[in-house]
Amino acid sequence: MRCFKTKCLFWLTLLVICFFGQNSILAYTVYGHAECNAGWAPYGAIVRVFEVDPSLGGGYTVDEIPLPTPPVIDQNGDFKVTTTSPYCGGGFEVGPPDLIFLFVQNVNGAVETIYEEEPSETHWNVTDGSSLNFQVTSGVAVCFDPSIGNVPGGYSFLFTRVGNYETACIDCKGSDSASEGYHCSRRLNHHISSDCPECNGMETDRPFGRTLDLFGWFGESCTIDYYKVQYSTDGGSTWTDIKTDLPNKWYDMSGSEPLNWHWVSEQMGPFDDGGEVNLYKIPHKVHSVVPWSFPNRVAKFDTKLVTDGLCRLRVLGYKWSDSTFSTLVQVSGSDTDLQVDANYGQIVLQIDNTPPTVAILALKLNGVSKSPCEILSFGPGDTISVQCRIRDENGHLREYGLEAMYGHNQTVTPRPPGAVDNYDNHSAGHPSWQGSMSHTISYNGTYYGSDKMPPCAYQFRWHASKRITNGYGLIYNWVEDTWHVTIQR
């Protein structure tokens, strides 16, 4: 009888503890750290946590549904399980929860299990604030070296290209306050890097201008519905939305006959919705299994709207805050919404939309100015001097040249000293080469006799170009001024 009373008291105590535990919802947090071999981290893996419930007789069952809001392993291998859970689970459990863990990761488009614990490996009585360590040995796990900093994961956004120019070859890392925003920056030795073979000679230190196609990558697992792109010219103190039309097309293969397949135009933005303005759509959120003309173009940026100089660019994500799809909220930096890459989630570009000053100031014969269309008597002891101006206050000159042209596509050769120059000869002043307010090029009549400069009508053509690019080719690639005279011998 006494034994029976003791057992009754035990089960009654257990029932009271469970009853009050189930009705006292507590905040519960467990910290985890996962490593692959060599200390690398299975970055981006999703952590699923299951409760193990003891049963009478020493057995146990594992809950089929994991704890809600699964965390994601960050670039350092860390994660945090946070939930509101009673300290008394199902079955005959008394005390803190008993847990097992499962990690899954998106590997080449397929969800793979990279770590899984058996019930025999249960973490018993895991208290609030506990820290647990996990060793991932799966051969399919994708792991990263934490020492290289933040790396793109399944939830990340980062800018990938400006036109055809990869951000890898642009000095534009948004986390680096010293970024200068040039493509093929000599400061970063892009011109000798095997990673950027297109960087060479005077094609280095290129600023950007006109309208730029901005390309980016949204991780497949990010949960945002829309995004907007913003720019800042004051170092990030104030931001302005980009609101340029962004057309796109997707390929409709829904018909049974290939002859009926066709391209469908889709305006990706800007549009207003849920109280927000200047929003854009993500192609794979609109149609996830169809080809797109531009699967990763995020904006067209008209740089003429900003002043010359450094311009910072960023993306903001938005998602619906309720089931009625009536209100959008901005999200950023959350593992379960949008994680912005630390290096290229924000970029800076050097903007320049100012043409160079290219002018022939005077043409002189033996120091005496001559008007256009004059006839010059040019003998062995005479000198024709062309006084020119080539000036770019922004310091982005690429090259200049003076040609003396006559007849049918004939050019005086060789050109005299100072008639040509390019950025390669001024690289020590990186990245600035402004040119000259007054530059004189002379043709000596003794050297330039009738064999080199025969009697004819002449065009002296003074031209220059800048290093500015729109991501595809040069802007202000040929700016010229001309002066015409007739030479008699």
Same-domain pairing of 328 and 387: no
CA 97 remoteness from chain centre: 43
Q: Give backbone dihedrals phi and psi of 10, rounded to 5 degrees, phi first.
A: -65, -50
Same-domain pairing of 21 and 169: no
Which tokens in the block code for residue 370?
A: 């001559």
Look at residues 229, 351, 223 and name the one whose alpha carbon lies nearest to residue 297.
Answer: 229
Domain, as residue range, for 100: 15-146
Same-domain pairing of 296 and 238: yes
Bond into 414 cis (ω within 30) = yes
6 falls within a domain: no
Q: How many CB atoms lie within 10 A of CB 107?
A: 15
pLDDT digits (tens, 9 = 90+) for 234-253: 999 999 999 999 999 988 88
Identify the residue whose tokens are 């939305």.
Answer: 241
Identify the residue whose tokens are 């011998």.
Answer: 489
Which tokens in the block code for residue 260?
A: 């009926």
Look up residue 145 and give its DSSP letter: -
Same-domain pairing of 242 and 196: yes
Give residue 196's identity as a one-letter amino acid code: C
Of the residues 146, 180, 197, which one is the last residue of a structural domain?
146
Q: Is residue 486 over pLDDT 90?
A: yes
Q: Is residue 167 over pLDDT 90?
A: yes
Point out the least confidently predicted range of 71-80, 141-150, 204-213, 243-252: 141-150
Q: 458 burial class (0-12, 13-18, 19+ CB within 10 angstroms)? A: buried
pLDDT digits (tens, 9 = 90+) for 253-296: 887 777 888 899 999 999 999 989 999 999 988 887 788 999 99
9 falls within a domain: no
Identify the residue whose tokens are 């290939």.
Answer: 258
pLDDT digits (tens, 9 = 90+) for 287-300: 877 889 999 999 99
Same-domain pairing of 139 and 194: no
Q: Which residues of 362-384 are buried (b: 16+ CB within 10 A; e: fewer)?
A: ebbbeeeebeeeeebebeeeeeb
Amino acid 5: pLDDT = 42
Query: What is the domain-level CATH number for residue 80?
Result: 2.60.40.2190
Q: Which residues contact 258 (CB under 8 A, 6 or more apart)?
A: none
DSSP structure string for 235-295: TTSS-EE-----EEEEEE--SSSGGG-EEEEEE---EEETTEEEEEE-HHHH-SSS-BSSS
List, in sequence order, every residue forming a beta bridge with 292; answer none if it has no partner. Answer: 250
Of the residues 146, 179, 211, which one is the last residue of a structural domain?
146
pLDDT digits (tens, 9 = 90+) for 13-59: 444 444 444 444 467 899 999 998 777 888 878 899 999 987 766 67
277 falls within a domain: yes
Look up residue 474 and give its DSSP letter: B
Of the residues 295, 324, 351, which one is the last residue of a structural domain?
351
pLDDT digits (tens, 9 = 90+) for 352-408: 999 999 999 999 999 999 999 999 999 999 999 999 999 999 999 999 999 999 999
Q: Give backbone dihedrals phi and psi of 444, rounded to 5 degrees, phi first.
A: -85, 130
285 falls within a domain: yes
Q: Is residue 220 over pLDDT 80?
A: no
Which tokens in the block code for residue 67?
A: 């704890």
How high is the mean pLDDT of the chain? 87
Angle formed at CA 277 by CA 274 and CA 279, multiple of 5 degrees: 90
Enumerate the H helices of 282-355 as residue ranges.
283-286
Q: Give backbone dihedrals phi and psi of 164, rounded to 5 degrees, phi first.
A: -95, 5
7 falls within a domain: no
Domain count, the chain: 3
Rounded Cα distance, 8 and 10, in Å: 5
CA 254 remoteness from chain centre: 34
pLDDT digits (tens, 9 = 90+) for 172-199: 998 777 899 999 999 888 888 877 888 8
Rounded Cα distance, 320 and 225, in Å: 7
Give residue 227's identity as a one-letter amino acid code: Y
